[in-house]
Amino acid sequence: MEKISIEELSENSLFHFTHNSNLENINSDGILPKIGENATGIERTEKTFFSKGELGVLKASEVWLRWLMNRIFGVRDRLGLYKAESFEDRQKRLREWTHEFLEGNYLEDSDKKEVLFEYFYNYLKERTYLVLDIEENKDYFLADEDENKVNLVQMDNKITADFAKVMYGPFSNMETTTMDDWNMHTITGTTIPKERIKQVTTPDGKTDMLSIVLYVYSKYKDMSHGKLLLDDFIEYAKKKQALEEMLKGEEKEDDQINYSRIN
């Protein structure tokens, strides 16, 4: 698959992320529309999602952090942290989590953020960004509806709607069902040919999603939208990367010492 540096892209470039294990199939067949694992029960039709511009990358990252935090500590228990709890303990925990999430206290919960950030760090390292060469009004409609927003309008459940508003965050317009620029999608059933797909790299050639997010954040870190999980995650990721580099350097030094002793 052809690569392209993020420096060559514009504010109108369209970013789609995928797991590294999908690259071989994409390089062969392009991107086929589908209802992804995380969209089951939410989306009604098969499509491909993408974000517009570098700012769209950051907005999507913040929403994913909020969404994953609720999946981990809410009713889904994504990591199985609470699988041994009793029914009574579960009900009590979910009541406490509902209050914490809706009141915004999750932003200051260091223990939960540590679990979330570790998971998200590895999640990003296993994935990559692709840039899509697709056309408005042919492959996607700018004013298309966000099916999740449509579901929320039709649903008679205030708590679920309140959760969605928190997860969609300050970058989303919840007064309309129109899709936001961080959460755009193709027309139902649209396949994106491999010839119209390139893998995005940082200026120094890295292809992992984590490196892309860190690079983009360094350009737009001063955007004013109040307290964000993304801000704290970036600090976590920088420290973790520095530690990994230090340990890698120590391992290399040990290997050199052992090699010298042998010879």
Q: Within a 10 A sphere around the Cβ of 9, how many other Cβ atoms?
A: 17
- The CA distances from residue 37 to 2, 34, 40, 114, 127, in Å, are 27, 9, 6, 25, 15
pLDDT of 226: 76
pLDDT of 258: 59
pLDDT of 155: 76
Domain holding 36, by residue range, is 3-262
Is 132 in contact with 197 (CB distance < 8 Å)? Answer: yes
Is 140 in contact with 187 (CB distance < 8 Å)? Answer: yes
Torsion of CA 16, 17, 21, 24, to 10 degrees: 20
Q: Within a 10 A sphere around the Cβ of 212, how many other Cβ atoms?
A: 24
The CA distance from 149 to 180, in Å, is 10
pLDDT of 133: 98
How many residues can be counted in the chain?
263
pLDDT of 113: 98
pLDDT tens-place values along the chain, 263 residues long? 999 999 999 999 999 999 999 999 999 999 999 987 766 656 778 999 999 999 999 999 999 999 999 999 999 999 999 999 999 999 999 999 999 999 999 999 999 999 999 999 999 999 999 999 999 999 999 999 998 888 887 777 788 889 999 999 888 998 899 999 999 999 999 999 999 999 999 999 999 999 999 999 998 876 667 789 999 999 999 999 999 988 876 666 555 555 555 55
- The CA distances from residue 85 to 77, 88, 89, in Å, are 11, 8, 6
The CA distance from 54 to 11, in Å, is 6
The CA distance from 262 to 159, in Å, is 66
pLDDT of 35: 84
pLDDT of 151: 83
pLDDT of 160: 85
Is 127 in contact with 84 (CB distance < 8 Å)? Answer: no
The total of structural domains in the chain comes to 1
